[in-house]
Amino acid sequence: MRILLIGNPNVGKSAVFSRLTGTQVIISNYSGTTVEFTKGSTVLRTGETREVIDVPGTYSLEPTCKAEEVAVSMLESMLDEGDIIVNVVDATHLERNLYLTLQLLERDIPVVVALNLWDEARHKGISIDVDRLENILGVPVVPTSALTGEGIDILMDRISGIMEDSDPEPRGGLDTASQFSIEEYRSARRFINERWSEIGRIIAEVQTISHRHHTFIDRLEDASIQPVTGLIIAILVMYLAFKAVGFIGEGLITYVFDPVFEGVVRPVVTKLGVVLGSEGFLHDLLIGHLVNGEVDFEASMGLLTTGLYVPIAMVLPYVFAFYVALSILEDVGYLPRLAVLVDNLMHALGMHGYAIIPMVLGFGCNVPAALATRILESRREKFICATMLSIGIPCMAQTAMVVGLIGRYGWQYLAIIYGTLFILWLMIGIVLNTILPGSSPPLLMEIPPYRLPHPKVLGKKVWMRIRVFLADAIPYVLLGVLFVNLLHVSGIIDSLSRVFAPFLTGFLGLPSEAIVALLMGFLRKDVAVGMLSPLGLSIRQLVVAVIVLSAYFPCAATFVVLLRELGPFDMLKSTLIMLVVAFGAGGLTNLVMSKAVPVGYVIVGLIALVAIILLVARAVRITRTRKFEG
């Protein structure tokens, strides 16, 4: 006896879920935000508790693409006797949404229709005769606006009503199947046509639309998908987002977190340090090594100093700022438009435009980005996307540390790091797209209307993401700091340093102690970057180390998700690519920055390398086709 929420993508299933269960889930204004089944529970009017399941969106029960296939097959395997379906319908697009509704009604499952986005429909001048629709469909129809909570109580009443009925009426008046003979039934094509004409009849009866004039939002929607104005808007949006993140992040650090750490935490840890005798294992573990007789929050490496300062005062402000900016873009509905704009570029990299969404998410955290690769169609696309993501997209936690550590040397070094990562990102895409068999699937997606973000919903979403960050980051960071201290005390670091010294020093130009940071990078990138701080590296060494750290391996949390999404074999291939690319890029950067090789040579060399790979791949493909034809 469960409640399953089913509906087209981006109709607000997750918002309804959130209202019914009180569980907070991420909701956005674009298709594919929910890629997994989310479970929660709700208390019926009778006082009984029932499980509620938020199913990823689908346009049809006959899946038409990979993402829908997953949703439908999961749905088929889940549906049990006695379950009820809440079909969440977008009232502003009733006609298209009814297709799925009719398919659901053809099955023997009790259905309640939630006519969601009711406020928006009203606003758009769309009026729907709910009673008439209820009569035609023969199932309860409840207008709702899940974001504001309107109608949710009535929806709950109707759900409870059906669930109370021990033997609920399987279906109501509409009986599409019985209107046709069996022979006609067999002709699937005809059946689908019938479904659409049925929908046409229903719409004609229940829906009236009053004339609406062009609004400013309409114009903005149009402008953001036209080639020229679209690009201008995209550049403007990205610039503003970037500026806002920098402004909020820096502001929080300077005016909130640094004063708190200097004014409150420093006196406490300094006193504690004296109490602990200013040396010894416990002192080093909790307070760390003193720099010039004082605690250095960035470099001391104690649990209570660096272990708290890194996640809270250096990373959190930027993570918060990023999620505010990202959440606004998501809720406005901008990201799918960006996908349209970059579709051509992404095809050159082996994916369609929608792949830009995991990439953008990745700048916040690679874990949700790795999950979001599910919205991509093929295994090939997922593989390319995951590899590009792991190599070229550093998460906000890492970026915050990089900015903190390297920003003081000048923006040009940040430009070298991010420019190099971007070039790697492009190269990986181009090369993989050429050498992997198959081609990129075409783009086909719904573009949501622009919506003004709901401040409360937005705030909740940012808070959820921050909570996830804090819950994940702080334990990992503390664990990492502890781990490094143990390695130091046990002397393992020294022997590891000796083993890797030729490689690190000879090839990357790094001191052998940098092995600590590289080890830490498997666990968490922000701490790993932080560990470069006490090593006293030159700016060249810092740049090389950061590039290698960004690209060579995903952090532990991302690795686990990618392993599940790609499978062990593809993950192994992807990891090998990461290692080769990261150390290759690190070695080259070292050569260029130490002026051993002019940068022009490297650029020409890389272009030549890519050209050779492209030519060879093409030659191989031509020979294969010839063989096939001959």
Partner 1 sequence: MGGSAVIPLVSVNAGEPVRVVDIIAGHGLASRLEALGIRPGTNIIKRSEMFMRGPVTVEAHGTQIAIGYGMASKILVERIRNLPAKSPNGNKDA
Residues that bind partner 1 (CB under 8 A): 59-60, 62, 64-65, 92-93, 95-96, 99, 124-126, 192, 196, 204, 209, 212, 214, 218, 221-222, 225-227, 230, 336, 339-341, 343-344, 352-353, 442-447, 449
> Which is nearer to partner 1, 95 or 294 (by Cβ)?
95
Find, among 98, 106, 115, 52, the residue nearest to 78 by Cα. Answer: 52
Least distance from partner 1 to the Cβ atom of residue 576, Å = 32
> Which is nearer to partner 1, 145 or 398 (by Cβ)?
145
Least distance from partner 1 to the Cβ atom of residue 450, Å = 10
Find, among 122, 112, 129, the residue nearest to 50 by Cα. Answer: 112
Hey, CA dihedral for 468, 33, 577, 399, is it positive or negative?
Answer: negative
Least distance from partner 1 to the Cβ atom of residue 340, Å = 5
Beta bridge partners of 84: 3
Tokens 């169609």 correspond to what residue? 377
Least distance from partner 1 to the Cβ atom of residue 473, Å = 36
Find, among 362, 358, 365, 368, the residue nearest to 338 by Cα. Answer: 358
Least distance from partner 1 to the Cβ atom of residue 144, Å = 19
Rounded Cα distance, 409 and 401, in Å: 14
> Which is nearer to partner 1, 133 or 520 (by Cβ)?
133
> Which is nearer to partner 1, 444 or 615 (by Cβ)?
444
Least distance from partner 1 to the Cβ atom of residue 623, Å = 26
Rounded Cα distance, 228 and 306, in Å: 48
Find, among 39, 333, 133, the residue nearest to 114 by Cα. Answer: 133
> Which is nearer to partner 1, 249 or 336 (by Cβ)?
336
Least distance from partner 1 to the Cβ atom of residue 291, Å = 54
> Which is nearer to partner 1, 225 or 426 (by Cβ)?
225
Least distance from partner 1 to the Cβ atom of residue 256, Å = 41
Least distance from partner 1 to the Cβ atom of residue 6, Å = 14
Report CA-CA distances (Å) from 123 to 12, 93, 203, 363, 434: 17, 13, 19, 35, 48
Least distance from partner 1 to the Cβ atom of residue 329, Å = 17
> Which is nearer to partner 1, 20 or 98 (by Cβ)?
98
Least distance from partner 1 to the Cβ atom of residue 413, Å = 35
Least distance from partner 1 to the Cβ atom of residue 442, Å = 3
Tokens 């092995």 correspond to what residue? 515
Strand pairing category for 2-7 and 84-90: parallel
Rounded Cα distance, 524 and 526, in Å: 6
Find, among 149, 148, 97, the residue nearest to 126 by Cα. Answer: 97
Report CA-CA distances (Å) from 155 to 129, 144, 173, 278: 17, 8, 20, 64
> Which is nearer to partner 1, 336 or 429 (by Cβ)?
336
Least distance from partner 1 to the Cβ atom of residue 93, Å = 5
- Residue 214 corresponds to which tokens in the numbers above? 């062009």
- Amino acid identity of residue 164, one-letter, is E
> Which is nearer to partner 1, 303 or 339 (by Cβ)?
339
Least distance from partner 1 to the Cβ atom of residue 70, Å = 15
> Which is nearer to partner 1, 64 or 278 (by Cβ)?
64
> Which is nearer to partner 1, 204 or 596 (by Cβ)?
204
Hey, CA dihedral for 530, 385, 566, 579, is it positive or negative?
Answer: negative
Beta bridge partners of 114: 88, 142
Find, among 222, 8, 28, 207, the residue nearest to 122 by Cα. Answer: 207
Tokens 């060879």 correspond to what residue? 616
- HEC-encoded secondary structure of 148-173: CCECHHHHHHHHHHHHHCCCCCCCCC
> Which is nearer to partner 1, 368 or 449 (by Cβ)?
449
> Which is nearer to partner 1, 209 or 489 (by Cβ)?
209
What secondary structure does DSSP assign to 194-255, as a single string? HHHHHHHHHHHHHEEE------HHHHHHHHTTSHHHHHHHHHHHHHHHHHHHHHHHHHHIII
Number of Cβ within 10 Å of residue 512's Cβ equals: 18
> Which is nearer to partner 1, 192 or 464 (by Cβ)?
192
Rounded Cα distance, 36 and 34, in Å: 6
Rounded Cα distance, 585 and 424, in Å: 8
Rounding to the nearest 10 degrees, give the CA dihedral for residues 481, 487, 488, 493: -120
Rounded Cα distance, 418 and 32, in Å: 29
Least distance from partner 1 to the Cβ atom of residue 357, Å = 13
Identify the H or E element spanning 613. Answer: helix 599-629
> Which is nearer to partner 1, 23 or 60 (by Cβ)?
60
